[in-house]
Chain A
């Protein structure tokens, strides 16, 4: 992404000695045995050098998980997952080094090109070693690590963040360095017993991000996990916790437009957000995990639990997501509007093509007085995909003056795909005002022909129309993300029209 050259430069200036996070090497063996048991959980916790309370927390989740059953209510189909046939922990492997750019999968290269990522950066992103006599390899290594490893990049930005009092570090590290904060908030938004996948995550999560913004602080930069896209093994069971203390603000970007592959098919992440009085968190995601091949084989199963708790008065949480990847997406970023006058937003673009299945939406739970929420969902279905919006808006008895506005628009490309809207509404008090609008449309042949007559190719035409359809949501993304997301949308829909 845009930050790469600058990041590389900044990281070059860091002393190698600052690279001090070598805890992974503490234990000799580097892979937990296949399957899930109390021993697996203990193994992971030991690997992470965790305090006893953390292990207990994980074990409790594990025991709870044993009593639960996999949910079946979503409109998705997949073969039964054998949870004993999965590795839950593997030590970080250095990225396979390639000797030249020619070794990169041409499909992936093509995508990079379309995203407008210069080759030099592709080489860095894909871990190509410079030829002998090229750039000094020590520097180069650090630079490569810098892009992939949150640890060293966190170091780069740490000074600036530290000056502001912001904590941004891997959660495994926060558990050791800021146990009081982690203990106070972890699992308070998504309890260990919340749902099958969240409970599994609680037992075996490998790593993720931790952010704490102290009272009155506006975080001086957008925090991006981009730097961690290939951080090893965190993709599978990622755990993120973000706390915005009173009167603070932070914007957090997750994911990357570049295509991402992972040998682990099952992903079950948990993200918890907490805002105290007058605080705001803006959380943006671009999800582009491998969707499977043209026959629908392979691809990531992405079962995510994301929830924000507007705990304080006048606090605000805003979710923005662009979902283009994964074979299956099961994801409902939600807001609990607990504090009076708090507000929640959900802006979503969910694209499905090929054999992808998306069941995504949000929950807005109004508990406090005069709380408001806004949902703008744009579902785009192409190929033989199925795309479902599932949303809940509820107002409890005490939530007087609760307001919600929901607009769900679906766009169909071709006639072998499906778009579905499943809204649930519960208003337990009479002063709640809920508005719901929904539309379903198709890209008509006349629209396509008009564009093509003006010189656009079929694919450009589809991309243009879809980007127009999704504009309201694209505008909510941070600038540099928005431009790439637009290209990503066009790329995701390639080959979607006859």
Chain B
């Protein structure tokens, strides 16, 4: 059984079709990279999988652990183990990162009928993870993402990913706005979370990220469809020849 199975997915917004029959199968333990030109629908796919309202699914299916993901609210999907690292994480003034993490983690645990973490256990866990990602304690006491640099915001996304232990991680352009050192830290954090039970979908424009996070499968997306899939060498080919060759492949 695949962890995630997207079949013939058609999605539109305001009468404009964005995903036009997309297929994607991701097994537990695999890392998939999705590459493709701007506007090809990569972010849309990530949002539809994670349950952002406002999109019309006119056809197709998304199965996650054999369950119909499209029938669930976004918070249910999160509790089931779907995590989306946002390209542009939002700022929430007045809500400290620490508080946000605890509220979110406990909400997920509650939905799964698990015990809530005690405060000391929770703090200990957060500190460990934060340390591994070079996140200073002081940052956790500030408003969520408020005044964080681009790199800090992205690290904060990985911190949450590590804390929530999702089974499917979707990372939308996690490399955008990162300098080479920040990229190394973020990629290191992501690699540390690779495991046989977990799958990742890494959305990126640049092969550079894939030097750090080596994918098992690379997909090329264009105009709302996956046009080609292959091994990690496909990323190199793309870099050499550009996306143009895939535009009219279908």
Q: Which residues of A contact B (CB under 8 A)?
A: 444-447, 449-458, 460, 464-465, 467-472
Contacts and interface: CB of A to CB of B under 8 A. Distances in A.
B94 A453 contact: no
The 7 A-B residue pairs with the shortest CB-CB distance in the complex, in nearest-first order: A468-B94, A468-B95, A455-B108, A471-B94, A454-B104, A455-B78, A455-B107
Interface stretch (B49-57, B185-193, B218-226, B235-243): B49-57
Contacts of B78: 452-455
Interface string B9-52: 00000000000000000000000000000000000000100111
Contacts of B94: 467-472
A429 to B, nearest CB: 36
Contacts of A446: 88, 90
**Interface of chain A: mostly helix, strand, loop or mixed:** helix
A3 B57 CA distance: 53
Given A455-B75, A470-B94, A450 B164 contact: no
A460 B107 contact: yes
A456 B143 contact: no
B147 interface: no
Contacts of B164: 454-455
B104 A455 contact: yes
Given A447-B90, A455-B108, A470-B94, 15 more contacts: A444-B90, A447-B92, A449-B52, A450-B90, A451-B92, A453-B52, A453-B78, A455-B75, A455-B79, A455-B107, A455-B111, A456-B103, A457-B75, A457-B107, A468-B92
Q: Name, among B52, B75, B100, the residue most crowded by chain A CB atoms within 10 Å (CB to CB).
A: B75
A452 B103 CA distance: 11
A157 B178 CA distance: 62
A445 B104 CA distance: 17
Contacts, number: 74
Interface in B95-123: 95, 100, 103-105, 107-108, 111
A457 B75 CA distance: 6
A449 to B, nearest CB: 5
A343 to B, nearest CB: 25
B167 interface: no
Contacts of A456: 75, 103-104, 107
A258 B79 CA distance: 32
A433 to B, nearest CB: 26
A468 B79 contact: no
A66 to B, nearest CB: 48
Contacts of B86: 450, 453
Contacts of A453: 50-52, 74-75, 78, 83-84, 86
B109 to A, nearest CB: 9
Q: Name, among A450, A457, A469, the residue most crowded by chain B CB atoms within 10 Å (CB to CB).
A: A450
Nearest to A468: B94
Contacts of A450: 86, 89-90
B160 interface: yes
A465 B103 CA distance: 12
Nearest to A460: B107
A449 B52 CA distance: 6
Q: Name, among A450, A453, A457, A471, the residue most crowded by chain B CB atoms within 10 Å (CB to CB).
A: A453
Contacts of B54: 445
Nearest to B82: A453
B104 to A, nearest CB: 4
Nearest to A457: B75
Contacts of B51: 452-453
B93 interface: yes
A464 B74 contact: no
A394 B90 CA distance: 39
A460 B74 CA distance: 13
B92 A454 contact: no
Interface in B178-205: none
B52 to A, nearest CB: 5
A477 B75 CA distance: 32
Contacts of A468: 92-95, 143
Nearest to B105: A455
Contacts of B160: 454
Q: Name, among B51, B78, B83, B92, the residue most crowded by chain A CB atoms within 10 Å (CB to CB).
A: B92
A459 to B, nearest CB: 10
